[in-house]
Structure 1
Amino acid sequence: MRVSGVVLGLAATVIAHGDHDHDQEPLAGPLEGLWYNSLPGDGGTQADSVFSGISTFGRLKYHPCLTSDVKYDIAFIGAPFDTGTSYRPGARFGPSGIRQGSRRLNLYGGYNVPLEANPFNSWAKVIDCGDIPVTSYDNAYALQQIEEGHNLLLSRPPFTDASKPGPAKKGKTLPRLITLGGDHTITLPLLRSINRAYGPVSVIHFDSHLDTWKPKVFGGSPSHQASINHGTYFFHASQEGLLANDSNIHAGIRTTLSGPSDYENDGYCGFEIVEAREIDKIGTDGIIKKIRDRVGTEKPVYLSIDIDTLDPAFAPATGTPETGGWSTRELRTIVRGLEGINLIAADIVEVAPAYDTNAELTTMAAADTLYEVMTLMVKKGPLSKMVEEEEVLELKA
């Protein structure tokens, strides 16, 4: 029988490929703790399955940071609080849900293809610190717990470049924290903590709502504590001097308003607005440009992401869903476009897993968005580099 050259060529390719398989190393990824010796006599190693084990963000190592002096460069911390909501509760389960949605992040090693970096395997020591203990019976005390817990973790020396000058007060270099919410009220105590470490900061705020409403407009403000909720926390942040005025920006806004005066009040709080619908005219590149032009690349920036920035088709499990939002792909593209901005800390909020589908669409979207944020922080390098870059710019000037 005559065998064609094509068949012989394919056979040779298969044989060669088989030989290469014997030389290949298994996908170890960055997490040595997930590997253990295989069965006796096997002679190899076996990776823990992504569907087994205790959930941490991206299968990172867990440390009870609030009760230990462990050092890190980037840490994930949960703030399970949801008694500041005006519609659906349930975001107290956001931290655990986001961790569940993050289990596959480094299934293939964790390399971020668009950003050309691996945030799990870099110069940075990245860990999961668990959750801040938060009471569900007293909002004032709960917000104090979040502020103090966050500040305790933010104030310790980082694992890398602890002795080098940085952008924080007294010229310190500090670690970065990424907080898993929780409803959006938590951003107020987080900004209070940031202010203690850095002073007023610029804020990039992804959301479908302004969250700068005056308390009497949003909720009626029957008491001081009732005036602090997930629609008014930026009003309070502005009043307390936590924001660097005229350098803050909302992105993804599309909610109804009490009237045009809401926009006027928002301006008093120092924000510029990018409406969600603008993406149809200027695209993701246009959105990115507006954000970068507003906050710049030199000053410290805090990033707050409400998962309701996404359309409910992509993220149904949220406290106050609004139709007409961005897709998960669009949001991740825009976040990647923030590369080079000096992100000192971040949060993601309003993930309420009880309203999710069985496919965990919302928790996966939240986890994947934070994967982009974590990669940006890793690519930027230690916060001590911010001071080095400022010195270079001064010399050039």
Structure 2
Amino acid sequence: MSQFPGANAAPDDAEYAVVGAPLDVSTTFQPGTRFGPDRIRRFARTFDDYDRRTDSFFTDRSVHDAGDLHAWDDAAEYLNFLEADLREWHDGGVTPLLVGGEHTVSVAGVRATDPDVFVAVDAHLDLRTEYDGNELSHATATRHALDVADEAVVIGARTGSPEEYERAAESDVTVVPPEDVSAWTPAFDGDVYLSVDIDGADPAFAPGTGTTEPFGLTSREMRDVVRAVAPHCIAFDTVEVNDRDDGQAASLAGKLLREFVFSHAAEPSA
């Protein structure tokens, strides 16, 4: 298996760790997220090492690629396994960069890092208690994150059930619809976990995802959100990339991961 380009640090020297989580058991429309980690690595090969904005090289950012944690069809057991691995990185002072896989893997990331705020770039609210009887569906990710985090901010959401919108109206949830994202400024109290569901992008930019939803964010808007939120973060993930396009979704996800690292390293959280 190839490594994420530029993620050349040894485990003992790492400040960031890429961890692939190819879980693909609850996708409701187009499956294929099991291929996400490999495709994100593959389509990141074209990126230059140098970042002009931060005047730095990705290869100097002490990123280690820990490979994939093999997934199986018992989501609850897999999340426990994944949580333990991510917690080990986090407790060792390394920032986890989780690469999915379906959005359910974010539950393990949140449990492992115990943030105060969960920020999700997502087309969907993901506030369901269950979907088709499955309490660990990808459509429940934000709901589960709120079992750990004190609040959730969902950026780019443009669809959900009546029950989800009712839950979103409570004081611990903030929804920033696509038309308001460009004017949004982060204001957080505590540590942040940033999750980028690639379907937050309009499918014109990232068609390779399970549940496409038009009228979404541009790739630049997603970049700007990542840049703004990264300095506050203790962990990052990007999820829901599949193999149903020519690499557009994977390329965007890989670029956003790099943007997170450059911005986080340049302005580490206090």
- 1:205 partnered with 2:120: yes
1:377 aligned partner, one-letter code? H
CA change 1:209–1:187 in 2 (3 A) is same
Give the counterpart of 2:241 among 344, 351, 355: 351
For residue 143 of structure 2, give the secondary structure of its aligned residue in structure 1: helix
Residue equivalent to 2:2: 55
Residue in 2 that maps onto 1:29: none
8 A contact 1:212–1:234 mirrored in 2: yes
Q: Displacement of 1:278 after TM fit?
A: 2.8
Aligned to 1:263: 165
Q: Which residue of 2 aligns with 1:147?
A: 83
What residue in structure 1 maps to residue 63 of structure 2? Answer: 126
Alpha-carbon deviations, 1:311-345, whole Å to 9, x = none? Answer: 11110000111011112122113322336x32110
Letter matched to residue 78 of structure 1? G
The answer for the alignment partner of 1:102 in structure 2 is: 44
Identity %: 30
TM-score normalized with structure 1 length: 0.64
User: What secondary structure does 1:302 align onto?
Assistant: strand
Q: Is the 8 A contact 1:207 1:305 kept in 2?
A: yes
Q: Does 1:88 align with 2:30?
A: yes
- Once residues 75 and 236 of structure 1 are traced to their aligned partners in structure 2, the CA distance between those partners, rounded to angstroms, is 23
TM-superposed CA distance for 1:214, in Å, is 2.4
8 A Cα contact 2:6 2:59, kept in partner = no
1:119, CA displacement in angstroms?
Answer: 4.7
Q: CA deviation at 1:269?
A: 7.7
**Equivalent residue for 2:19?**
77
Residue from 252, 265, 269 that aligns with 2:156: 252
Could you list the runs of 5+ residues in structure 2 that have no partner in the other structure?
none
Give me the whole-angstrom Cα distance separating, in 2, the residues matched to 1:192 and 1:310: 26
Are the structure 2 counterparts of residues 269 and 350 from structure 1 closer, same or farther at C-alpha, using a change threshold of 3 Å?
farther
- Displacement of 1:121 after TM fit? 4.7
The structural deviation recorded for 1:244 is 1.7
Alpha-carbon spacing, 1:252–1:119, altered in 2? closer, same or farther (3 Å): farther
Work out which of the residue numbers 262, 266, 275 in structure 1 matches 2:177.
Answer: 275
Q: Match of 1:343, as an amino acid? A: C
Report the secondary structure of 1:364's partner residue: helix
In 2: Cα distance, 1:61 partner to 1:312 partner = 32
User: Is the 8 Å Cα contact of residues 55 and 103 (structure 1) preserved in structure 2?
Assistant: no
1:67-95: CA deviation from partner (whole Å, max 9, x where unpaired): xxx34111111011011222221101100
RMSD value, Cα: 2.0
Match of 1:185 in 2: 104
CA drift of 1:98 comes to: 0.2
* 1:138–1:121 distance in 2 versus 1, CA, 3 Å: closer
Shift of 1:139: 1.9
Decide whether aligned partners of structure 1 residues 213 and 72 sit closer, same or farther in structure 2, where only a CA change above 3 A counts.
same
Cα gap change, 1:258/1:333 in structure 2, threshold over 3 Å: closer, same or farther?
Answer: closer
Alignment of 1:229 onto 2:167: no
For 2:166, the aligned partner's letter is E
For 2:204 and 2:32, how far apart are their aligned partners in 1?
A: 19
1:189: Cα distance to partner? 1.4
Q: Distance in 2 between matches of 1:184 and 1:95?
A: 13
Report the alpha carbon displacement of residue 237 of structure 1 after superposing the two structures with TM. Answer: 3.1
Find 1:373's aligned residue among 235, 257, 260: 260
Name the CA distance, whole Å, in 2 between partners of 1:213 and 1:269: 17
- Is residue 76–residue 136 contact of structure 2 (8 Å, CA) maintained in 1? no
How much has 1:175 moved relative to structure 2? 1.3
> C-alpha distance in 2, partners of 1:203/1:132?
23
AA aligned opposite 1:258: S
Higher RCO, Cα 8 Å, sep 6+: 2
- Supply the AA of the counterpart residue of 1:138: D
CA contact (8 A) 1:317 1:352 kept: yes
Q: Which residue of 2 aligns with 1:116?
A: 54
From the two aligned structures, give the one with the greater strand fraction: 2
The alignment of Structure 1 onto Structure 2 pairs a total of residues equal to 270
What SS does the corresponding residue of 2:119 show, helix, strand or coil? Answer: strand
Distance 1:345 1:269 in 2: 24
Distance in 2 (alpha carbons) for counterparts of 1:308 and 1:90: 14
Question: What is the Cα deviation at residue 62 of structure 1?
Answer: 7.0
* Equivalent residues of 1:187, 1:233 under 8 A apart: yes
Match of 1:176 in 2: 95
Stretches of 4+ moved more than 4 A in 1? none
CA distance in 2, matches of 1:132, 1:153: 14
* Separation of aligned partners in 2, 1:348 and 1:212: 18
